Amino acid sequence: MSAIIIPMHQAKSSLSQLVKRAAGGETIFIGSYGRAEAALTSAASVRPQKRLGLLEGRLVIPDDFDAPLPPELLAAFGVEEA
């Protein structure tokens, strides 16, 4: 399949049709003077890059993380002890 470059002025006037084509899986190249300057693709084809373990070794969760809050802190927020 050959790449077709849509001129800028044509892309402006037919943007909604080009978006529909891109949503259907086609990649649309937009440019000027026969040179592609941008690509219009389906948003479904773009996936965020996942980086597992990004903060490994940088965060420490204390052992008492889920312990009840002290009474003075609860009072500062207007919460009565249970």
Burial of 62 (0-12, 13-18, 19+ CB in 10 A): exposed
Give the pLDDT of residue 80: 81
In 20-76, where do the E strands start and end?
Answer: 28-32, 35-40
Strand order through the sheet with 35-40: 5-7, 28-32, 35-40
What domains are defined for the chain? Answer: 5-44 (3.40.1620)
Q: What is the pLDDT along the chain (82 residues), one digit of tens a residue?
A: 566 899 999 999 999 999 999 999 899 999 999 899 999 998 887 777 788 888 888 988 899 999 998 999 999 999 887 6
CB 74 within 8 A of CB 81: yes
Q: pTM to 2 decimals?
A: 0.53
